[in-house]
Structure 1
């Protein structure tokens, strides 16, 4: 299957296995491919082994919390542009402000409902597609500008 026809791959990262299973099930019902990770370290490993389009990331996890994972993803040129939707039971302004400062694209409060999840994931996929189209248009414009004049 070529890139244009491949189902978007969404990584679900949460230390609670039940949450991972439920979110992955919701995503599959919406036509996405779900990649499951149970820790920040596993996320950072799997993101290099798969073509991840969006990451759903729990904030409160042991060993490496969601903010630490976001920092690591943003510091890596291979993963810096992947949209991250932070999923948290801690839906306070300080957590949102810190997440936005670090480069989180969106937030969802637990419990997450399927339609809300799907619409937020699709919105992030549209942002990525719009950015790709704009970049391609800029490349074409630059090529036209640099063409030798006769």
Structure 2
């Protein structure tokens, strides 16, 4: 029996909230380290990858959780990565946030923005980043 889309989403979000898994996709090693340490200190299981190709590989290996995706990366930018993820059907069971400079976030691809839960501008406040992402993991009362 197929679940209606809304029920599927509610169950999916509840499942994610129990797992606390996050993947950071950024070509800047300093960003990867900073965000990794931030979320590990809060009990998250953290995956870091330096490019879109590696993100897709992790998704093909079964990763489910929140993905923080940089927009500007060499070889394949964040928008191209999201497009490939959607085409392959790997977006299901994941929540996407885009991270980049304010001007780059303004240039969001209209056909892909439906898959993005939030845009986070660089430079970001680590406490605010943590709070924004943690909202998707808070257990229902």
With the length of structure 1 as denominator, give the TM-score of the two structures: 0.71
Give the conservation status (yes or no) of the 8 Å contact 1:73–1:80: no
Structure 1 stretches lacking a partner, 5+ long: 131-150
**Looking at CA atoms only, which structure, 1 or 2, has the larger radius of gyration?**
1
Number of the residue aligned with 2:101: 89
Give the Cα separation in 1 of the matches to 2:47 and 2:117: 19
Structure 2 stretches lacking a partner, 5+ long: 1-14
Shift of 1:105: 1.2
Give the conservation status (yes or no) of the 8 Å contact 1:70–1:102: no
Shift of 1:117: 1.4
CA RMSD of aligned residues (A): 2.7
Aligned residues: 126
Give per-residue Cα distances to partners, 1:42-67, cap 9 Å, x unaligned.
Answer: 11001222433100000000110000
Give the structure with the larger strand fraction. 2
Give per-residue Cα distances to partners, 1:81-116, cap 9 Å, x unaligned.
Answer: 411100002445632464863521101111222221
Number of the residue aligned with 1:113: 125
